[in-house]
Structure 1
Amino acid sequence: MVLTEKTRNFDGKPPLKVLMVTSSFPRHEGDYFGQFILELAKSLKPNGIEPVVLCPHFPGAARKEVMSGVKVYRFPYFYPYSLQRIAVEGGMFQNIRKSLLAKLQLPLFLAMELVYTIRVVRREKIDLIHTHWIVPQGLIGALSGRLLHRPHILSVHGTDVNIAAKNRVLGWVTRIVTRNSGKILTNSTYTRELFVSIDPSAESKIEVIPMGVDVELFQNPLNGNPKEKSGDPYILYIGRLIDWKGLEYLIDAFAIVSRRIPGAKLIIGGEGPEEEQLKQQVKDLGLNDSVRFVGLIKSSDLSRYYHEAAVFVLPSIQAEGQTEGLGVVLLEAMACGTPVVGSNVGGIPDIIQDEWNGYLVQERSPSELAERIIALLENQTVREQFKENGLQTIYEHFSWRQISTKFTQTYVQLVNL
């Protein structure tokens, strides 16, 4: 059942108000960082849900704003703001692990997130708290929900569960959060199984609801269909430039591809701490003329990049307790009709059925990755098969319309308990 104005307001009540607490959210319109949280919030509005977002502040940002019709609060956690280090590009866990200043800021971050969660719940008359990632948001949401007598839902996205599975303290925190949450939503079967291994008592509360994709947005590239305008074929990666994305193996694979198909290009879109190291690898391999780092790609330009690409690759690996929880970029590429190749790790197999709508390859294997990329570049029949089956996958399982309905049903169920 979709919560419509009619079903929600028959007794005169306002739309159901949901506070989404997240450490990852776009810093401005067009920013790709945490874009899926914004897309989720937007997709809920037609269902009679009024989403409000609470996320960390960053230098130069307004403390309160409206982004794409969604009300956003940003909480500061250190002064001067320019020294805030926890919730910046690269991811919260990565930043805390690598930065002493981020470690020192963590207690302040936790305190301010709790204070602002309570403040926003009261100010906005929130009906339900929906947090993303176990720590710190899940813990903050569970505590706030108990203090304020609001139902709490936790969404986990992979990285947090991978780390909690290897850390005794975080495992203990996870069990506390579970006991103080009405539902645990995981983004893939992999994440679900890993969560249950940490807390078997959570099994009855868990539901797999992945993030979705805006089908209409990605099927309408700017200026017509760029595939018909492109010259040499290019391979595309979009995402953060961090170690567990496996980009070093993609670059090694591309060196093999370029010897077989001299005109091939590789475009890498995104930012992150591994950028300089990856550029040096490209230089050492003599690939400067065929590999381009294009930086952060605006949301409005994503569709064009996907449509122009001959192949999209997500070469993620298992590294230090982290891996791909789902792989939303694969969904976006499929929605554009672009053939995909992904590593057989984490939640990626929930999206790719090997040799039906894409290729799954062993992680850290440049030779196998290169072989599959070459097979796609040289075989139009397979590319067309993956295109059609990929679109079918999106329409049947991953459109925001379907995904937002599942979230809405879960919200209504908990609020009406």
Structure 2
Amino acid sequence: MTPNSSRPSLLILASTYPARVGDGTPSFVRDLAVGLAASFEPFVLIPAVPDGAAEEHGDGIRVRRFRFFFRRWEDLAAGAILENVRSRKSRMLQVPFFMAAQFFAVRRAVRSERPAVLHAYWIIPQGLVARWAAPRVPLVVTTLGGDLYALGDPVSRALKRSVLRHARAVTVMNADMRERAIALGASPNTTHVMPMGAQVAQFADAAAGRLSRAADGPVRLLAVGRLVEKKGFHLLLKALAQIDPATWHLTVVGDGPERHGLEEAAADLPVAFVGQLTREALTHADAEADVAVFPSVRAASGDQDGLPVALLEAMASGCAVVVSDLPGLDEAVEPGVSGLSVPSGDVTALRDALATIIGDAPLRASLGAGAALRAQSFDVATVADAYAGALEAAIRS
């Protein structure tokens, strides 16, 4: 707790965080930290990334980045750690240095900040480091899916079990993840489905100026996410290849190891790959889209989406959405009311759903309105209140 403050100190550990505010890197950790500043004094401890400042202050939070490797190659945490390692195996060399540096950084932060509670994003590595470096500080662990669904070898499972049994509370993105966490040792009484929040108002406001969508011309489709296997964009291209290309245009937002292969697959299709966008640019992309598609699948590694914030942002923008029926996505989208749902990995079903929604403007309008209404329950302010309650309960327990 800082001097002259009645708010308890909150130490937040994460590995995915924008190098600069609004740079397009998923910002759910920052957004929630800002939302928690009304109840806590958030101090965010994250690894160094290219172009990231050593310290930041603003919006009621403080941020510090710890160094862990030679600056020239220090890119393990630039994006998603698991995907970074899979795309370039040499990055495994950074992992032990990362773990050691994070351990000592947490120890220093505990001494200087004296946190009342510690919030770790991902069971591995942050939850594990918190378990070792700050065993006496109440721990709340949030898993977004990658570590829980993947990392299934016996050693990783044992480490995850150790963290989850130690945590005062665990939050997950969907009911399936809750069952998996409990099976690994998390307490049923303190394991909660609490998805990340979206900046609903920001995306809704950006779309408010649009009086209609796709009044004429091709229907504008949007796909947002890292270009990795679990996003299912390779299946999206296969499905769209079977639909008249004069009726649609797809914009793909994001970057990743599968970009080259996806661009080759889309060479003869009306598809634009625009790379990672700033948050402001993404709000405009969502506002201009008629339909957002999230054809997520389970990757060969076992990894899969929990509940993408990009989906919630598209819904807040009033986009009609088409999603696969993976846990989390099927909980956010009410089929026929706020979107269409198809069996994960089923190209034929995806093609049929896309053809239906492309050819039916009233349906797109109805689903878009339903999506915007549904998104209100995922607003970051509402989510922050729920997390504040969980953190306060962890302090009291």
TM-score (norm 1): 0.89
Deviation at 1:143, TM superposition (A): 2.1
Going from structure 1 to structure 2, the CA distance change for 1:228 and 1:381 (only over 3 Å counts) comes to closer
Q: Which residue of 1 aligns with 2:228?
A: 242
Task: Give distance in 2, aligned partners of 1:297 and 1:54.
Answer: 25
Partner of 2:106: 117
2:20 is matched with 28
Aligned CA RMSD, in angstroms, stands at 2.1
Structure 1 residue 99, shift from structure 2 partner: 2.8
Which residue does 1:374 correspond to in 2? 355
2:191 counterpart of 1:206: yes
Secondary structure of 1:115's match?
helix
By how many angstroms is 1:357 displaced? 1.3
CA distance in 2, matches of 1:95, 1:351: 28
Letter in 2 for 1:225: R
Would the alpha carbon gap of residues 48 and 373 (structure 1) be closer, same or farther in structure 2, given more than 3 Å must change?
same
Q: Which residue number in structure 2 is paired with residue 363 of structure 1?
A: 344
8 Å CA contact retained: 1:58, 1:82: no
Q: Could you list the per-position Cα deviations for residues 58-106 of structure 1 after superposition, in whole angstroms to 9, with x for gaps in the alignment?
A: 1332211225543111111111x121242123x2112223433321221
Instruction: Tell me, in whole angstroms, the C-alpha distance in 1 between the residues paired with 2:209 and 2:114.
Output: 45
Match of 1:216 among 191, 201, 211: 201
Change (3 A) 1:156 1:344: same
Give the equivalent residue in structure 1 for 2:115. Answer: 126
Q: Is the CA contact (8 Å cut-off) linking 2:213 and 2:290 kept in structure 1? A: no
Which residue number in structure 1 is paired with residue 276 of structure 2? 296
Residue 251 (structure 1) shift? 1.0
Unpaired segments ≥5 residues, structure 2 = none
Counterpart for residue 32 of structure 2: 40
SS in 2 for 1:325: coil
**What's the counterpart of residue 323 of structure 1?**
304
Q: Contact 1:54 / 1:74 at 8 angstroms: preserved in 2?
A: yes
1:96 to 81, 85, 89: 85
Q: How big is the shift at 1:116?
A: 0.8
- 1:179 shift after superposition: 2.4
State the AA in 2 paired with 1:106.
Answer: V
Shift of 1:278: 0.7
In structure 1, the residue matched to 2:180 is: 194
The one-letter amino acid of 2:358's match is L
Aligned partner of 1:399 among 363, 379, 383: 379
1:84 to 74, 99, 120: 74
Runs of 4+ aligned structure 1 residues displaced above 6 Å come to none
Whether 1:410 and 2:390 are equivalent positions in the alignment is yes
Q: Please state if 1:346 is matched with 2:327.
A: yes
Equivalenced residue count is 394
Indicate the SS of the match to 2:187: helix
User: Residue 21 of structure 1 contacts residue 53 of structure 1 at CA under 8 Å; is this kept in 2?
Assistant: yes
The letter for the 2-side match of 1:394 is A
SS at match of 1:221: helix
Q: 1:130 to 1:82 in 2, by over 3 A?
A: same
Which residue in 2 is equivalent to 1:5? none
CA distance in 1: counterparts of 2:241 and 2:214, whole angstroms: 25
Alignment of 1:156 with 2:143, yes or no, is yes
Residue 271 of structure 1 is matched in structure 2 by 255
Provide the residue aligned with 2:55 in structure 1: 64
With over 3 angstroms needed to count, the CA separation of the structure-2 counterparts of 1:226 and 1:385, relative to structure 1, is closer
Aligned partner of 2:364 in structure 1 is 383
CA contact (8 A) 2:169 2:191 kept: yes
TM-score by length of 2: 0.93
Asked if residue 142 in structure 1 is aligned to residue 131 in structure 2, the reply is yes
AA at the equivalent of 1:282: A
- Percent identical residues: 27
SS at match of 2:287: helix
Kept after mapping to 2: 8 A contact 1:85/1:101: no
